[in-house]
Amino acid sequence: MTLIDGKALADKMAIALKDKVDALKAKGVTPGLVVVLVGENPASQVYVRNKERRALTAGFKSEIIRLSEETSEKDLLALIDQLNQDSQWHGILVQLPLPAHISEEKVLLAIDPEKDVDGFHPTNMGLLWSGSPVMMPSTPAGIMVMLDEYGVDIAGKTALVIGRSNIVGKPMAQMLLDRHATVTIAHSRTKNLAEVAKQADILVVAIGMGNFVTADFVKPGAVVIDVGMNRDENGKLIGDVKFDEVEPIASLITPVPGGVGPMTITMLMEQTYETAKRTLGK
């Protein structure tokens, strides 16, 4: 069996989380997650609805604040300031991407680092890179939980992360490094990518190009993690890895859908719970 079943693991963790949330509520704290969505990006609409649904299922208080595409940067910053002060919200998440007239950097900087459950604030990024993480980006955090659940030995292994985004590639590299992997980050300008990839014991692919990684990229027995969420010409959800070709070569592989995606939301919920728990006794 080579499949890493992210959906099953997410379901298992959701049941355990509900119990932890009930216990916290009994002590008078209900975890609160507020999601801010600016504009009409169809993929973002789906993501934020899923986040809200999962938060409510876990027993959280949760709300989506929907703002029009024309919202000014100033108004968005004022809203964030208000949410920072509002003690019912333990986690604040501003869905990305933002409309072009709003600076993502300014918005992420405005979120109180203690409520930044995405782990995108420079303070939280810095804490992660210095080896003392508090808030971690959910997608790579979920991948680490999957690797551990499936008993993947990380120390001393060669890991390649394809993609260098702040959301996935960079924090992923740091989390693997922290667990003593020998880590390389590859990207669109990397030369001989297939050859580089073929050295990797652990291959994490987050480039956003459907079926990009084929059999010739993969070392026999490698662990392959597919972060891709692409649509093919028929609108079907496909990963960055050509699954049918790679699955027979890999020792473990995540499917799309049902792999990384469900665990991303799980980690967001876990992190919001942990953040709420830290307010106990404050």
Rg, C-alpha atoms of the chain = 19
Annotation marks residue 81 as catalytic: no
164 is in an annotated binding site: yes
Smaller CB separation from ligand GUN, 218 or 268:
268
Specify the pairing of strand 252-253 against strand 223-226: parallel
Under the criterion CB under 6 A, does residue 118 sit at the interface with ligand GUN?
yes
Under the criterion CB under 6 A, does residue 93 sit at the interface with ligand GUN?
yes
- How far, in Å, CA of 216 to CA of 195, rounded? 8
Binding mask 120-139 for ligand GUN (x = CB under 6 A): ------------------x-
Positive or negative, the CA dihedral 226, 161, 131, 33 is negative
Amino acid (1-letter code) at residue 129: W
Q: What angle do CA 97, 141, 81 make, to 5 degrees?
A: 45
Residue nearest to ligand GUN (CB): 96
Annotation marks residue 118 as catalytic: yes
165 is in an annotated binding site: yes
Q: Using CB under 6 A, which of 77, 96, 177, 215 touches ligand GUN?
A: 96
Q: Which residue is catalytic, options 5, 115, 116, 118?
A: 118
What is the smallest separation between the CB atom of 96 and ligand GUN, expressed in angstroms?
A: 4
Phi then psi dihedrals of residue 224, to 5 deg: -120, 120
Under the criterion CB under 6 A, does residue 271 sit at the interface with ligand GUN?
no
- How far, in Å, CA of 56 to CA of 198, rounded? 42
Tokens 């890991």 — which residue?
Answer: 159
What is the smallest separation between the CB atom of 206 and ligand GUN, expressed in angstroms?
A: 11
Binding mask 137-176 for ligand GUN (x = CB under 6 A): -x----------------------------x---------
Q: Which residue is catalytic, options 51, 115, 157, 219?
A: 51
Smaller CB separation from ligand GUN, 169 or 252:
169
Smaller CB separation from ligand GUN, 98 or 222:
98
Query: 248: buried, middle or exposed (CB in 10 Å: 19+, 13-18, 0-12)?
Result: exposed
Helix (H) or strand (E) holding 223: strand 223-226
Q: Which residue is catalytic, options 95, 115, 116, 226?
A: 95
Annotation marks residue 82 as catalytic: no
Under the criterion CB under 6 A, does residue 95 sit at the interface with ligand GUN?
yes
Q: Residue 8: helix, strand or coil by DSSP?
A: helix
Query: Which alpha helices (DSSP H) does the chain contain, by range?
Result: 6-26, 42-57, 73-85, 104-110, 122-129, 138-149, 169-178, 193-197, 243-246, 260-278
Under the criterion CB under 6 A, does residue 117 sit at the interface with ligand GUN?
no
> Which residues contribute to the site for ligand GUN (CB under 6 A)?
93-96, 118, 138, 167
The annotated binding site for NADP(+) is made up of: 163-165
Q: Which residues are catalytic?
A: 51, 95, 118
The annotated binding site is made up of: 163-165
